[in-house]
Amino acid sequence: MPDSLGTKPPPFVGQVSMKEVARLAGVSPMTVSRALSTPHLVKPETLEQVQSVIRAVGYVPNRVAGSLSSRRTSLVGLIVPSLRNALYAETIQGISDVLQRHGLHLMISDSGYCLEREEALISAYLAQRPCGLILHNTVHTEAARQMLQGAGVPCVETGNLAPHPVDMTVSYSNRAAGRAMAEHLVSRGYQRFGFASLRIGDNERLRERRDGFFEGLRAAGIAIDPAMVLEVGEGLESGSQAFAELIGRDASVQALFLAGDVLAAGAIFECARRGLRVPQDIAIAGSDDNDLMQQMIPPITTVRFPRYRIGVRSAELIVGRLGDETLQPASEDLGFEVVPRGST
């Protein structure tokens, strides 16, 4: 390492070029470029040497200039319905873990459960020349779908198994998950049910989960009373209110499926306030497993989705397409698991 490199950046910081980084590191400019764009292809000792120089001189690559020649940046855009919803954290982590290994960068926005807002974000992202897009939604406005199909940018949808994906999809069947929960509850002997979820609106994932639940009940010869189906807001209080509303409409209800982890926890808290035993007096089931579901008293029966693995595979498909543009569109079903616990 040249003596000029130390803990303090040299005076030309902010003006240093890739050629200067290469000279200081004793490698070619092509090796520096590869270390920045595809670090996994560089020998570890060489990569460390280049990165040490970059840190020392404060070199910042000109991504804009690179995008003008390659027609794409090293950015991958991710659009989720809400940044407040912790459900997406595992997927985001899986995506980030893969992209970092390949020198790609993640930018994240939320659509607010609004298809028009998603359309605007897709337009804004495409203007940045991303090398890939990952969308939680699998239903889009017609304008958004046309933009995606015309852009030629690798795109992965993750929220559901889309029957007609824009490009690629990695997910699970929400309908099958709802049906599996119905089968589990019926197998426990329950006959009278209630259902609550967040507001469905444009959320086809919740709609599919609800419809699958109803299908499972019908297959067992059970019809759910429309009065025992609710849509509520987010949060523990909404779960408590959903329970109070449903039990008030039919005191003989035996089991509730609340399609949301926090809603199910709120229902458990309301049972405790009312002195009701779970599952002896009423069974409670939720969806999306996490620490909250596992640590409740009793622990909550739920549907577990492989959200981290979905993030990993989504990013891997983007990276794979960048390495070989002839790769065909993929549709991967990573499945789910009904996790029986004490609440049912």
Could you read off the pLDDT of 169-225 as tens digits, one per residue?
A: 999 999 999 999 999 999 999 999 999 999 998 789 999 999 999 999 999 999 999
Q: Is 281 helix (H, G, I), strand (E, B) or coil?
A: coil
- Fold observed for domain 174-304: Rossmann fold (3.40.50)
Q: What is the CATH number of domain 18-61?
A: 1.10.260.40
Burial 93-111 (b: 16+ CB within 10 A, else e): ebbbebbeebbbebeebbb
Predicted local distance difference test score (pLDDT) of residue 282: 98
Given pLDDT bands bounded at 50, 70 and 90, which one contains residue 231? very high
**Is pLDDT larger for residue 234 or for residue 278?**
278
Please determine, for residue 99, whether its predicted confidence score (pLDDT) is greater than 70: yes
What lies within 8 Å, CB to CB, of 171 at 6+ separation is 138, 157, 158, 159, 160, 161, 162, 310, 332, 333, 334
Predicted local distance difference test score (pLDDT) of residue 278: 98
The rounded distance, in Å, linking the Cα atoms of 150 and 80 is: 22
- Fold observed for domain 75-172+308-337: Rossmann fold (3.40.50)
Given pLDDT bands bounded at 50, 70 and 90, which one contains residue 56? confident
What is the pTM assigned to this prediction? 0.79
What residue spans define the domains of the chain?
Answer: 18-61, 75-172+308-337, 174-304
Average per-residue pLDDT for the chain: 90
Predicted local distance difference test score (pLDDT) of residue 2: 43
pLDDT tens string 142-167: 999 999 998 889 999 999 998 889 99
Predicted local distance difference test score (pLDDT) of residue 15: 58
Predicted local distance difference test score (pLDDT) of residue 106: 97
Burial 146-165 (b: 16+ CB within 10 A, else e): ebbeebebbbbbbbbbbeeb
Please determine, for residue 8, whether its predicted confidence score (pLDDT) is greater than 50: no
- Cβ 324 vs Cβ 261: under 8 Å: no
In terms of phi and psi (left: phi > 0; alpha: psi -120 to 50; beta: otherwise), the region of 70 is alpha
CA-based radius of gyration for the chain: 25
Predicted local distance difference test score (pLDDT) of residue 191: 97
**Are 18-61 and 174-304 in the same CATH fold?**
no
What lies within 8 Å, CB to CB, of 146 at 6+ separation is none
Please determine, for residue 10, whether its predicted confidence score (pLDDT) is greater than 70: no
Please determine, for residue 329, whether its predicted confidence score (pLDDT) is greater than 90: no
Q: Which of 156-160, 164-168, 305-309, 325-329 has the lowest mean pLDDT?
A: 325-329
